[in-house]
Structure 1
Amino acid sequence: MTQLRIRTTLTLLLLMAFSTATVAQDSHCQLGIGEDEASTPSDEFELPRDGTVIHVRTDLQWAQCALGQGWSRDSCTGQAESMTWSEAQTAIDELNRTGELGGYTDWRLPTREELETIVEKCREAPAINDDIFPDTPWAGFWTSSLDTEEEGDAWFIGFYYGLTLEYSRDSSYRVRPVRYR
């Protein structure tokens, strides 16, 4: 009887240890939302501590905050700016002119495919790893990708559910700059 209790206790301890390790690895996931494992685990990112983050899997360097927000220690402060697609292009040009983000001058709007690589499929509201990209608005973020069927439309990703949609370039969405590392 004692051996059975010891075996049962050991089995429970092992299960608890395994469960804890899994939860710790995907701590930004939400139970019952989307996939069981993180699609953007934190260990795929390097944090230079200059307001940028490097996605090692894709070799892309992202602004940790949306344009309009500022990086402060471990969070994004201020309000993410909404802008039309054309205004987004101008804002990126200004960012490059000043070199204020990490000292780099080759930032751009991400392609649709690039922005999809940071959508987190195990959470929503926002559907992004908020340990890596804190204070991300749920609203849409522009891509550089244009809709070939609808003249005047561009693709954006809404970070409430992580959906990719196209809409008029005269609409207002947020911007998260990217560059190749």
Structure 2
Amino acid sequence: MKHILLLVLLFTSGTLLGQTCLESIMPTTPTTNFVDNSDGTVTDSKHGLIWMRCSVGQSWQNNSCVGDASALSWQQALVVAHGYVYVNQQGWRVPNVKELASITEGQCVRPAINTELFPNTPADDFWTSTPSVTDPQRAWVIAFFNSSNSLKEKNLSVYTRLVRTAN
């Protein structure tokens, strides 16, 4: 019983503390790999992608993401991205699984993302545009809780972050 209580206390205290990072691990998404475009987007110079700093549903205000991220089905996320205009730019889309995994921060959990670049990111699943090869009812998600990936049913409500290819 003591062990269960200790695990509950550790899990609860970690949840209350927010993001945890291990400084002994090299960052996987150092801020130096990104250019702040001063408009709520950052350019990943390593991968040639422009990312919205906020999740769909949030807005960029005073150098932070404010409001609640919107949880959408996979189809809703694709529809929202189609024709989306942000900072007078078109071409926004739901990232594929490799693109979204490229912004996970391996040295951190809860959330597993560089919070300087992507503030107030929910420590939860985010849609990718990559469908399952074996199950047409599922698509890949990246969990910004711990950088893991998995398949989720497309009708579930999951968060979304949009990307576009840098010109």
TM-score by length of 2: 0.85
Q: Distance in 1 between matches of 2:25 and 2:70?
A: 33
Q: Which amino acid aligns with 1:72?
A: Q
Shift of 1:139: 1.2
Tell me if structure 2 keeps the 8 A contact 1:121–1:162.
yes
Query: Unaligned stretches of 5+ in structure 2?
Result: 1-18
> Is 1:150 matched with 2:139?
no
CA deviation digits over 1:20-43, x for unaligned, max 9? xxxxxxxx97237xx611000010
Q: RMSD between aligned alpha carbons?
A: 1.5
Q: Distance in 2 between matches of 1:58 and 1:140?
A: 22
> Is 1:171 matched with 2:156?
yes
Structural mapping, 1:21-40, within 5 Å = 30-31=21-22, 36-40=25-29
* 1:139 aligned residue: 124
> Is 1:74 matched with 2:90?
no
Shift of 1:92: 1.0
Query: Given the superposition, is the C-alpha separation of residues 29 and 139 from structure 1 closer, same or farther in structure 2, using an over 3 Å criterion?
Result: closer
Residue of structure 2 aligned with 1:103, choices 88, 112, 122: 88
The aligned length equals: 148
Q: Distance in 2 between matches of 1:29 and 1:64?
A: 20
TM-score by length of 1: 0.78
Higher strand share: 2
Query: Unaligned stretches of 5+ in structure 1?
Result: 1-27
Q: Distance in 1 between matches of 2:97 and 2:22?
A: 27
Which structure: larger Rg?
A: 1
Residue of structure 2 aligned with 1:57, choices 34, 37, 46: 46
Residue of structure 2 aligned with 1:114, choices 99, 118, 121: 99
Structural mapping, 1:3-22, within 5 Å = none
CA deviation digits over 1:47-105, x for unaligned, max 9? 111111111100100000000000012100000000000110111125x2xx2x12111
**Which segments of structure 1 move beyond 2 Å, counting only runs of 4 or more?**
none
Identity %: 32
* 1:19 aligned residue: none
